[in-house]
Chains A and B, each alone.
Chain A
Amino acid sequence: MDNEIHSLLANIWFFIIGLMLFLYVVLDGFDLGVGVLSIFTRNDKHRAIMMTSLESIWDANETWLVLLGGALFGAFPLVYAIALQSLYVPVMVMLFALIFRGVAFEFSHHARNTVPWNLAFGYSSLLASLAQGIAFGGLISGLGLIESDHQGNVWGWFTPFSALVALGVVTGYTLLGATYLMMKTEGAIQRISIRQSHAAAVVEIIILIAVVIWASRSDHYFAARWADSETGYYMNFFLILAAFALFMLMRALRRRFEVMAFFWSVIITLASFTAVTIGCYPYMIPASITLTQAASSSRTLIFMLSTIGLLIPVMLVYSGYQYLVFRGKVQMDEHTD
């Protein structure tokens, strides 16, 4: 009975952590994606519009990462400890990139020469996305852990597979960023964003197919989950949903349905993320640590539900309100200082 309750609580927290990760990936994803796209523009005015479109929200978007870290630390300390220690290098790279990216917003206003900060904004967005992608790729391929002592190798994440996942994550972020810009801008920059969305969507789906095929060939656990009639059914459902969302996205791009294009990009992200999660479940670090092994005690999980859990809807409401206040196309003239 106790074990069943603990397992239920651990699953609830696995779902909440998944939700936080998904929200982070979508929200900071488009944020980082806009940064990646800023590398490609030579037009200073366009770059200014891109940065202004994020100015009031980037901090809130990045905070989901802080929340995710804290919640993972509390609910699954074992995974938090082992994953972060094994991913030392990509995590540090991500942190340094986020540092430069964050200050670029403010420093570019004050610097006499804005070029270094524009470069910092673009390339650190790219670096942060790559680092997150390679860390995620390393995580789902098991971090090279040796089961007996859970001691990972500091370079265990560094595989061709995780490099491919990293490319997928960067492309996914770019797609989210391009469709976000399509929503927030008009005129020439919007036309460019639509073209970029097209390209990103096509590349994204190719990488997604490659990742799934690769995982099913090289990862026995993932392959077994896919071959299993029940879990395979759900995985297929989400993969088909991703394909459908791609189709709808292309349609929205052609017809300039601004909000729908962003919506379908989010669905692509959701569907591929869910399919991968089902492929690994119940492992949090595949084939060595399951979610119930890693979870804190029932008492802690209940305490966390009654505190963090209850606050999630509240957070969603006021974060949503902030988005509502800044809805519509980017206005450049109201920023007086």
Chain B
Amino acid sequence: MEILQDPVILSRLQFAVTAMFHILWPLTTVGLSLILVVFEFLWLKTRDVDNYRHARFWSRLFLLNFSVGVISGIPLEFEFGTNWSRFSMVTGEFFGNILGYEGAMAFMLEAGFLGIMLFGWMRVPPFIHLLATGMVALGASFSAFWILVANSWMQTPAGIHMENNRVVVDSYFEAIFNKNMPWGVLHMWFACLVTSLFVIGGLSAWYLLKRRNTDFFLKSFKLALIGAIFVVPIQISLGHGSGREVFENQPAKGAAIEAHWTTNQEGKGAAWNLLTWPNQTEQKNDWAISIPNGLSLLATGDQRGQVQGLTSFPKADQPTAIALIFYSFRIMVACGIAFLGLMLWTLAAWLKGQLSSGSVCNNRLLLRAWIASIPLGYLATECGWIVREVGRQPWVIYGLLRTRDAASTLPVSVVAVSLIAFVVIYSILFILFLIFAARIIRKGPDLTLMPPS
């Protein structure tokens, strides 16, 4: 295994491991904190004590999730310096600055009110508590915003010029509002909402299936459904918009996503590959099941629109691992379609009156489908990030800095040791999280809990 003796490859693997592990937790921190705000607000508005109990119950899972999220996030920030020191030197002016701003605006806000939100129920009046929960939710969403600003600037850098091999910012406005930014921010933020709604809905479905506290969990199930009715269609159209944006601004990534090798001739549409096996050495697909003109339509909105193929880029500028990008993208899309189908199916059942407290538990297949949907949001998000990051290769900042030129000079041994340590520790944490989360879920809510008077 020659590649495992390359410190740059090891650093890439380490960043991939730490980032892919970390992103699991913010998904639910961002989404669940907003749902907690809704429950708490409903409690104060309707004085229905069940809403208070919902807030208390889900915040237990929130806390467990949050603590893993915090401690797995800190390594990411430091890895830019430890493993990617040349990236840090080149981009500090903008990238470091944005990370600092994220810390000041988002993390501090979140951390500054988290204690009150989780442990302050008896110490502050309900209104202040709602404010604290709101600030935690706001902090979490701000954090997603600034991280995606920083990342989208790596996809479509703007507002800067290079001077002595360092980024100098000409316009902060242009750099922050780069072309990929609105798509990146919104697609990720909605991914948090979708994932959290199906986690809440799926767990509620589990209780309904077990006929435990049916009335109580029917409320959260319906809340998740109502949320999904609004959020899923928006997320799917954001996904489509993001794809169009990629073809416009990162054509090599777009071509990799679709395993599209040769640019279609003028007047002839490009075919869309449903399934294929890309062969990078021969620069073509070994086989493909495709739909004529489909890619032109999807990427440009016109059946005959021209779509640049991978061969129009020098081999050194093509992303590698085309199959990974191609199939990750398809898994993500399939998850989105599954969410839409499940949402429509449940909506139909609701309209037919099958979601009343008497009959909902009989809809066993539907409830099982909701339980099965719990991991899909996470899966879709991981796949989406693989497409986004692997698809940007060989660049770390698209068109400006190659990944290989961004790494620290480190001996293989130290990177190998830290990589193995991350894999081992994160695997343990992941398993423990699942065990402890299962304990919280099996124990269920405390329905005798009374709100502070």
Contact = CB atoms under 8 A, between A and B. Distances in A.
B352 interface: no
A162 B111 CA distance: 32
B108 A71 contact: no
Interface string B94-116: 11111111111101111111111
B103 A67 contact: yes
Contacts of A92: 82, 414, 418, 421
Interface stretch (B30-38, B85-93, B329-337): B85-93
Interface string B427-453: 001001001100110000010010000
Contact of A74 (B93, B115, B435): B93
Contacts of A84: 78, 80-82, 85, 88
B70 A59 contact: yes
B71 interface: yes
B88 A73 contact: yes
A106 B60 CA distance: 10
A335 B85 contact: no
A259 interface: no
Interface residues of A, number: 67
Nearest to A76: B92
A325 B123 contact: yes
Given A56-B118, A77-B96, A83 B104 contact: no
Interface string A38-59: 0000000000000000011101
Given A82-B85, A89-B414, A154-B414, A102 B70 contact: yes
Interface of B is mostly: helix
A297 B93 contact: yes
B111 A78 contact: no
Q: What's the interface size class on B, roughly?
A: 35 or more
Nearest to B439: A110
A101 B414 CA distance: 23
A88 interface: yes
B100 A85 contact: no
A105 B99 CA distance: 27
Contact of B77 (A55, A69, A102, A111): A69
Contact of B425 (A85, A99, A311): A99
Shortest Cβ-Cβ A-B pairs, 3 listed: A77-B92, A84-B81, A73-B96
Interface of A: 55-57, 59-60, 62-63, 65-67, 69-78, 80-85, 87-89, 91-92, 95-96, 98-103, 105-107, 110-111, 151, 154, 296-297, 299-300, 303-304, 307-308, 311-312, 315, 318-319, 321-322, 325-326, 334-337
